[in-house]
């Protein structure tokens, strides 16, 4: 007896894909979300919302906003868009997960120089990272727990430290999962709920400390970059953490063409 894996009739995503569901026509909810995004969202109104958000924070702090930056297509486009469309003064924060190839480094340097931005790049303890990768691979089949958590937690710590309440990410998760959806017409907040829902693979930094402390000479402070900041500290700076793609229609192919042309990416 052979068993076949059910797939979306339109995009081919399998039934094992996170948050996926199929309708009576065999089309997945991710495809249906993209339909809704194209046909039902008032993107002009969404842009006005983002315009107002930028102006709410402009000029009131050392930086107008903080941009988490991996150097990939989405964060590069986000930074370019903010600099060219809104002329903001951003603080760019990069979490170096240990896999930045030479071309990526060159892209980063070229982008920072062309746009003219202040950058913080943080590289965590590699000895700790190696142990975290092993534990994550064994428990979840994904060695990059430190990547997922660090990329989303460390910039929030810097937002508090430098008193920059507006944090702007790139694409919303609604582009490729259904943890949130466009149909609810809500702005997806990149907050602790989202972090614990799927970013950290269900393992907190405190969990990880307990998992590896017996066979690793670990200082609890080594896991600080992977912890999400306390809500009271985030509320103290009146933070907002949002995705640019919640306010403009996200178009990866178009964005790649732009950053290749404008930044040599």
C-alpha span between 94 and 126 (Å, rounded): 16
Residue 221: the pLDDT is 93
Q: Is the predicted pLDDT of residue 71 greater than 60, yes or no?
A: yes
Q: Is the predicted pLDDT of residue 98 greater than 80, yes or no?
A: yes
Instruction: Tell me the per-residue pLDDT of 171-226, one tens digit each, with 9 for 90 and over.
Output: 999 888 988 888 877 789 999 999 999 999 999 999 999 999 877 778 889 999 99
The tally of CA atoms less than 13 A away on the side-chain side of residue 187 is 20
pTM over the 0.85 mark: yes
C-alpha span between 208 and 211 (Å, rounded): 5
C-alpha span between 221 and 20 (Å, rounded): 37
């Amino acid at each position: 007896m052979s068993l076949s894996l059910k797939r979306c009739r339109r995009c081919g995503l399998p039934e094992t894909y996170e948050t996926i569901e199929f309708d009576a026509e065999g089309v997945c909810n991710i495809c249906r979300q993209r339909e809704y995004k194209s046909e039902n969202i008032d993107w002009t109104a969404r842009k006005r919302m983002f315009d107002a958000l930028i102006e709410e924070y402009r000029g009131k702090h050392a930086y107008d906003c903080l941009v988490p930056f991996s150097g990939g297509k989405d964060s590069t486009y986000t930074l370019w868009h903010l600099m060219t469309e809104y002329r903001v003064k951003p603080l760019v924060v990069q979490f170096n997960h240990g896999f930045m190839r030479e071309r990526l480094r060159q892209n980063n340097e070229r982008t920072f120089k062309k746009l003219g931005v202040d950058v913080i790049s943080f590289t965590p303890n590699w000895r700790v990272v190696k142990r975290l990768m092993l534990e994550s691979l064994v428990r979840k089949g994904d060695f990059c727990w430190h990547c997922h958590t660090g990329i989303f937690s460390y910039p929030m710590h810097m937002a508090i430290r430098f008193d920059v309440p507006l944090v702007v990410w790139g694409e919303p998760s609604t582009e490729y999962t259904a943890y949130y959806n466009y149909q609810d017409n809500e702005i997806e907040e990149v907050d602790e709920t989202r972090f614990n829902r799927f970013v950290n693979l269900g393992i907190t930094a405190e969990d990880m400390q307990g998992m590896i402390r017996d066979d690793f000479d670990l200082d609890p402070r080594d896991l600080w970059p992977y912890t999400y900041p306390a809500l009271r500290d985030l509320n103290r700076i009146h933070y907002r953490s949002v995705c640019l793609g919640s306010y403009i229609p996200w178009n990866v192919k178009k964005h790649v063409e732009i950053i290749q042309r404008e930044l040599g990416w």
